Amino acid sequence: MCASSILAGGTMIMPNTSEKTISKPELLAPAGNFEKLEIAIHYGADAVYLAGDDFSLRNFSGNFSDTELFKAVALSHRHKVKVYLACNIYSRNHEQEKIKAFFSRIGRIGPDAIIISDPGIILLAGEIIPHIPVHLSTQANTTNLNAVKFWYRLGVKRTNLARELSLSEIREIAAHSPMETETFIHGAMCISYSGRCLLSSFLSGRDSNRGLCSHPCRWKYAVVEELRPDQYHPVFEDTRGTYIFNSKDLCMIEHIPDLINAGITSLKIEGRMKGINYLASVVKTYRNAIDSYISSPGTYRTDPEWLDELYRVFHREYCTGFYFDKPDERLQNYNNHHKGQIHSFIGKIIGVNPDQKYIVEIRNKLILEDTIEILSPNDRPRPTKILELTDTQNNSIDSAKPNTIVLLKIEADCQINDIVRKI
């Protein structure tokens, strides 16, 4: 592995010239619905993961009907982006026939892989859609090389390794694995072991292992002593309650060389339920970092603007999870920490009219006097003033309300699906 030194301005990598050629990992992004799929493709994802209407662990992310799945696969493949379809619930007896029917339909849709955690579902996939590779979900808790070999013998082509593993453990598995490896590098982390949790089932009747998690680990809690039922004591001194279960968000942007040199096949971003502003920022940032290191490992540095971009999307306090040591109490999020100014998301560009005005789908209020910035895949965020703001009938307006379409004349050049934000 390359030796590295952490400098005040970022991470600089001093390569070991005796090492083998660096392999470029896949950047895998979430696509909770069709709009998010378009954004993930636009900002540089190599592959996306998504789900149909049933059998995934994100039942509230929007997901895709069969017709939309056909269109999603076709669109992705036109852009040379792979599609991995999640079917990662732990199923019950009464669902087996429905899963068989689902796989029969999936066989005609043709995703590049299907993500599964349940051994029984893997068995059905092998029988019904043997031509579609199986990727093992992180829910399967794969924590060692022998487990990887076990799943390989059952026909699995890739495993999403457990989040509890350190980078040294991941490196050892990747070096000897008969299959591809995948790890999460950014986003929310479940407080429970590899996401297997019963808390939601007990407190709200919604099973997290079947896509219905109500996130009770994010709720506020206090301690009650048995003989003093009316006295509530916060676990720590905070007037808002406690976040004792509330894990920090994972962020590995400062450790891209470590991840790449560990030999991981695919670097995965969490967030099928996050918005397009989050998705655009995170995918673009990791795309830029990965490409920068691959193109010039000897002069690579973490760009401070990458950090600024990730801190300006809504997030919990960042950490590196289990990659470098046991996080113990440092993993917990003791405040809703936000460093810097959070982006004020305005909308996205959906077209250009004959007058060279950009057609913008407005999500949050925009005022003519606002200074905005444009987030494009291959440029730094570009501030620009609004030269003209009109409605779709070309009437001048002073402001635009959410859920409307407006025409925007600005100094910057833009592309369809670029994100518009207010400074």
Domain extents in the chain = 3-189+247-331, 193-233, 344-422
Per CATH, the homologous superfamily of domain 344-422 is: Translation factors (2.40.30.10)
Buried b (16+ CB within 10 A) or exposed e, 143-168: bebebbeebbeeebebbbbbbebebe
Q: In this structure, what are the phi and psi dihedrals at residue 371, rounded to the nearest 5 degrees?
A: -95, 125
Q: What pLDDT does residue 329 have? A: 46
Q: What pLDDT does residue 9 have? A: 43
> Which residue carries 């199986």 as its tokens?
134
Q: What pLDDT does residue 207 have? A: 62
What are the DSSP E strand ranges found in 42-155? 47-51, 82-86, 113-116, 134-136
Q: How far apart are CA 45 and CA 82, in angstroms?
A: 9
Those residues of the chain that have pLDDT short of 70 are 1-20, 56-62, 191-212, 214-215, 217-221, 233-247, 325-340
pTM metric for this prediction: 0.84
Q: Which two tokens stand for residue 151?
A: 């799943």
Q: How far apart are CA 69 and CA 50, in angstroms?
A: 9
Q: How far apart are CA 186 and CA 274, in angstroms?
A: 12
Q: List CB contacts of 233: < 8 A, sequence separation 6 or more.
A: 222, 223, 224, 225
Class at the top of the CATH hierarchy for domain 3-189+247-331: alpha beta
Q: What pLDDT does residue 342 have? A: 81
Angle at the Cα of 294 from the Cα atoms of 292 and 298, rounded to 5 degrees: 85
